[in-house]
Structure 1
């Protein structure tokens, strides 16, 4: 069965072409939004033949899916500070800096808007966040082992709780959240987790007894 367009990880010249095309696609998204993303325009910006772009990615949504996959691969690894709160603050700081970056913040707004009305973009965005949550979930799991958080704490839910208010602030105000908002989000998620708000399954039943 042939691979879906944009999913094969190439090397050599093909890798350089992919990098140039993805960079150009990200630029268009950041500058003009999803509605203006056009494969021919991306090919022109990347100085790549249109045939190459159409053959490799097939569609705008295929290109966006590959861009998100690349962004997930290039994202920074989690920070280990030795405490759950320290790790969650590091995560919140990373999200805040990303959303405050002129290019990255605009790019995420464009992709989130597209995901609201395009199923393939929505799935690609979910995969992106699945990768990022899986990267940071161990900081919560390790906190459970150290006794900082109750047994049964849903690590993924805690990580989502850190970034959720930051994205909400960006999308509802149009203004990127600042460092104070990042610190507040991390402290709120930690306090809720320490109080057992994110305990599920067997751990939740143990808390009730």
Structure 2
């Protein structure tokens, strides 16, 4: 994944990455509810269309492929990637800078490659957490339980997840999401400890 430009400023960042179905989005939503952490959700840009109930600027910044390509050319992204053919995602510098100006720490919910790229951009100013399923079998079960994809798409996701699990050692911390309540508490502790140490 190409690393783009570094945002202007010197704030901190929290990065959550995981294979699809590991539960990172649930953990990120939980952390966002903890106002005492002063986190701000970093809204990604994407070329995919909005799903039912999704709001532009809140869930994603929905861009046409042409707009996305133009922003890449102009160095507007911290990181970006064509995740699947014809489907791109990225983090806009302006999004990070806005959160820092508001006095909040950006919280990223990104795929594994995006997480590694963000960590390389932010270095020690970022905490990268890899959310793992208890096993590949459990992950497959969760993905099937969603009922959102046909068998071919599901097989592709499972194969990708298997590959992504090998990236876990590249992250600062690993969090096994077996018991959700326990995982939520662990996520809170990891983020709280990092922020506390950074502001000492």
What is the TM-score of this pair, normalised by structure 1?
0.25
Q: Which has the higher strand share?
A: 2
Q: In terms of Rg, which structure is larger? A: 1
Give the structure, 1 or 2, with the largest relative contact order (CA under 8 Å, sep 6 or more). Answer: 2
